[in-house]
A and B are shown apart, each in its own frame.
Chain A
Amino acid sequence: MTAQLEIRGVSKSFGGVQAVSRVSFDVQQGEILSIIGPNGAGKTTLLNCISSVFHPETGAIVLDGRETTRLAPPRVAALGVARTFQNIALFRGMTVVDNLMLGRHIHMKNGVFRSMLYWGPGRREEVAHRQVVEDIIDFLEIEAIRKRPVGSLPYGLQKRVELGRALALHPKVLLLDEPMGGTNHEEKEDMARFILDVNDEWGTTIILIEHDMGVVMDISQRVIVLDLGAKIAEGTPAEVKATPQVIKAYLGTKATV
């Protein structure tokens, strides 16, 4: 079985800081893979390389047999990679519906003339994609806030809306950067349930960065551990937990595990 996403020897540095160094791993279609590691380990940087926000200095990223390493971010999005951000990057002044409609951008065709006319095919396309967006709104149980400007929503709900925007792209690979960071216990449980449901219903491949070890061990099939930019372990949650280097570098610092 060939992997859906291959990370081959990817390195990225900022000035003197080697944020990611020679990291390689495969991601299988339909799996939930978690990336863990202490603060500054390079997890976010790795996601940024996958979605082409940064281009790595060495190595390659291959999606469905096609190299995406040097493509511009919109091209990578069009090939089926969607993501959320650690610090939330929604369009704060726009409503929930409009944010999700922007998630449909790559699947729509309306150009400037059809948009201005808003009649016939142009209008039909808007309505059809609004329907898709409403299905996602139902799925995420955010009907009540669909017309609210995103900036006015509490943090936990914003995280959920950002997941909704990523889902609106109907991605093959979904990258989630700490979707539960800074949310309360209940919101964490909801988010975990949504992630499992997305994976279950659509078979979406999910790469998850998360600090909450309980959640990571519960929902992921495999775990990658980064430390100081390098991969120090890979395997099932049980295997990773038993690796001495991991206990030393990361888990050892948390008394609860």
Chain B
Amino acid sequence: MINRECGVYQTTYEGDMALYPLPLARYSTLAVVVVLALLPLVLDSHMMSLANLMLLASIGAIGLNILVGYTGQVSLGHGAFMMVGSYTAALVTVRLGLPFWLGLPAGGAVAALVGAFFGIPSLRIKGLYLAIATLAGQFIIEWVINHSPWISGGVQSTIYVPTPTFLGWNINNEYRRYFMVLPVAIVAYVAAMNLVRSRVGRAFIAVRDRDVAAEIIGVDIFHYKLLAFAVSSFYAGMAGALWTYYLKIANYEHFTLATSVSYLAMIIIGGLGSVLGSVFGAVFITLLPIVLVYVVEGGAALFGFKYAAIADFLANLRLIIFGGLIILFLAIEPEGLFRMWGNVKRYFRLWPYSY
């Protein structure tokens, strides 16, 4: 948030250690929450669906950033962990009749277990090799779910779930879905902010930065790597479960390798090792294809092409731009949009005397 710390002195460690130590920051944070809560008053249904997609992506991206950005363990299996959460939620809803607010933590918990299991190779290997091991995890999970009718429901691996309800309300339009997704996203965000500034988060960063030094001061690397996989997959599982309730369907095609890659793109573009950056990245990657369509449609109209003729081209263009952006950000601004945001903040810190 934009705020300036000049002239504010902390007199207690509690004050100094608060998430938002400056009064202005607390107010602006509160303002953001209020604006988010009031958004449905001004946005139409289509815009609300976009907002929902961004929130869903944010939850998944925050989870991946805890693993990749904070703990330094690369994963190409995030999509599969979301898939686990998605099918878990569908199954407990259809078979056990659990409400969505129990299906969510159930999806998170099962995904956390599976994620910790597929995180075991991280004890021995890192970097590219770990990426390949988690890639194998992605395919194994996808294959197992697809080939177990007991899990995937058989026909086209699709499970339909009834419209979720809350206290008698049917969550059956974009506005109501927004109020199903928003609280989860806010809790996910605050929990992650707290995590990374306290004991467990510091241990994650220690494992990422220097594992020998981390061990020497008593951080059990094994434990924290697996914990990072579990926490990250819990987030993925929650996001996957929310997808199930959002679309009223669980289908593996929403969580393929392409999903894993696009979540990696979110956190690289948004900023590795930044919770807020994960949100920026999620917003950016959600908007990118939509903006692309507008641009290409506009171009097509201008030059008199038929839109249908370039639909294929558009799909490829999206992938090319994805890849290009990842390379660009890795090369030029490895700390991503979050860093750029920081630069803007720094500029305004002493504004208007910012020379």
Enumerate chain A interface residues (CB-CB to B < 8 A). Answer: 51, 53, 72-74, 77-78, 82-83, 85, 89-94, 98, 101-103, 105-106, 108, 110-112, 115-118, 122-123, 125-127, 130-131, 134, 165-166, 169
Task: Tell me which of A53, A125, A131 contacts B13 (CB under 8 A).
Answer: A131
Task: Return the CB mask of B171-194 against A: 1 if under 8 Å, else 0.
Answer: 000000000000000000001101
Task: Return the CB mask of B211-228 against A: 1 if under 8 Å, else 0.
Answer: 011111111110000010
- Measured between alpha carbons, how far is A51 from B16 in the docked complex, in Å? 34
Q: Are A74 and B215 in contact (CB under 8 A)?
A: yes
Q: Which residues of A contact B231 (CB under 8 A)?
A: 112
- Measured between alpha carbons, how far is A123 from B18 in the docked complex, in Å? 10
Count, chain B residues at interface, CB 8 A = 32
Shortest Cβ-Cβ A-B pairs, 10 listed: A77-B218, A106-B218, A89-B213, A118-B194, A116-B191, A73-B215, A115-B198, A110-B199, A115-B200, A130-B13
Q: Are B200 and A126 in contact (CB under 8 A)?
A: no
Q: Are B198 and A118 in contact (CB under 8 A)?
A: yes
Q: Which residues of A contact B214 (CB under 8 A)?
A: 102
B19 located at the interface, meaning its Cβ lies under 8 Å from any Cβ of chain A in the complex: yes
Chain B residues touching A, majority SS: helix
Q: Which residues of B contact A110 (CB under 8 A)?
A: 198-200
Across the interface, name the chain A residue whose C-beta is closest to B193.
A118
Most chain A CB within 10 A, of B197, B202, B206, is at B202
Q: Contacts A102-B202, A112-B195 given: A130-B17 contact, CB under 8 Å?
A: yes
Across the interface, name the chain A residue whose C-beta is closest to B231.
A112
- Measured between alpha carbons, how far is A131 from B194 in the docked complex, in Å? 19
Q: Contacts A92-B209, A93-B209, A105-B202 given: A116-B194 contact, CB under 8 Å?
A: yes
7 A-B pairs (CB sep. < 8 Å): A53-B212, A91-B210, A115-B199, A115-B200, A123-B14, A126-B198, A126-B199
Q: Are B17 and A72 in contact (CB under 8 A)?
A: no
Task: Tell me which of B206, B210, B216, B221 contacts A53 (CB under 8 A).
Answer: B216
- Measured between alpha carbons, how far is A126 from B218 in the docked complex, in Å? 17
Q: Which residues of B contact A111 (CB under 8 A)?
A: 200
- Measured between alpha carbons, how far is A225 from B200 in the docked complex, in Å? 41
Complex interface residues of chain B between 218 and 249 (CB less than 8 A to chain A): 218-221, 227, 231
Q: Are A72 and B209 in contact (CB under 8 A)?
A: no
Nearest-Cβ distance from residue B278 to partner chain A, whole angstroms: 16
B60 located at the interface, meaning its Cβ lies under 8 Å from any Cβ of chain A in the complex: no
Q: Contacts A91-B210, A105-B202 given: A115-B194 contact, CB under 8 Å?
A: yes
Complex interface residues of chain B between 1 and 24 (CB less than 8 A to chain A): 13-14, 16-17, 19
Q: Are B215 and A91 in contact (CB under 8 A)?
A: no
- Measured between alpha carbons, how far is A57 from B339 in the docked complex, in Å? 48
Chain A residues touching B, majority SS: helix
Enumerate chain B interface residues (CB-CB to A < 8 A). Answer: 13-14, 16-17, 19, 191-192, 194-195, 197-203, 205-206, 209-210, 212-221, 227, 231
Nearest-Cβ distance from residue B271 to partner chain A, whole angstroms: 13
- Measured between alpha carbons, how far is A91 from B215 in the docked complex, in Å? 12
- Measured between alpha carbons, how far is A77 from B221 in the docked complex, in Å? 13
Q: Contacts A98-B202, A102-B206, A110-B200 given: A73-B216 contact, CB under 8 Å?
A: yes
Q: Which residues of A contact B197 (CB under 8 A)?
A: 118
Nearest-Cβ distance from residue B335 to partner chain A, whole angstroms: 10
Q: Are A105 and B203 in contact (CB under 8 A)?
A: yes
Across the interface, name the chain B residue whose C-beta is closest to A81.
B216
User: Told that A72-B215, A77-B216 touch, could you supply 4 new A-B pairs with CB distance under 8 A?
Assistant: A90-B213, A102-B203, A115-B198, A123-B14
Q: Which residues of B contact A98 (CB under 8 A)?
A: 202, 205
- Measured between alpha carbons, how far is A90 from B192 in the docked complex, in Å? 24
Most chain A CB within 10 A, of B210, B213, B214, B221, is at B213
Q: Which residues of B contact A169 (CB under 8 A)?
A: 217-218
Q: Contacts A98-B202, A126-B17 given: A112-B213 contact, CB under 8 Å?
A: no
Q: Are A122 and B198 in contact (CB under 8 A)?
A: yes
- Measured between alpha carbons, how far is A156 from B17 in the docked complex, in Å? 27
- Measured between alpha carbons, how far is A151 from B206 in the docked complex, in Å? 14
Task: Tell me which of B19, B220, B221 contacts A118 (CB under 8 A).
Answer: B19
Nearest-Cβ distance from residue B268 to partner chain A, whole angstroms: 17
Nearest-Cβ distance from residue B55 to partner chain A, whole angstroms: 19
Q: Which residues of A contact B219 (CB under 8 A)?
A: 74, 102, 105
Q: Which residues of B contact A83 (CB under 8 A)?
A: 216
Across the interface, name the chain A residue whose C-beta is closest to B227.
A112
Q: Are B218 and A89 in contact (CB under 8 A)?
A: no
- Measured between alpha carbons, how far is A89 from B210 in the docked complex, in Å? 7
Task: Tell me which of A72, A115, A131, A134 contacts B195 (CB under 8 A).
Answer: A115
Q: Which residues of A contact B198 (CB under 8 A)?
A: 110, 115, 118, 122, 126
Q: Are A89 and B212 in contact (CB under 8 A)?
A: yes
- Measured between alpha carbons, how far is A4 from B197 in the docked complex, in Å? 37
Q: Are A103 and B216 in contact (CB under 8 A)?
A: no
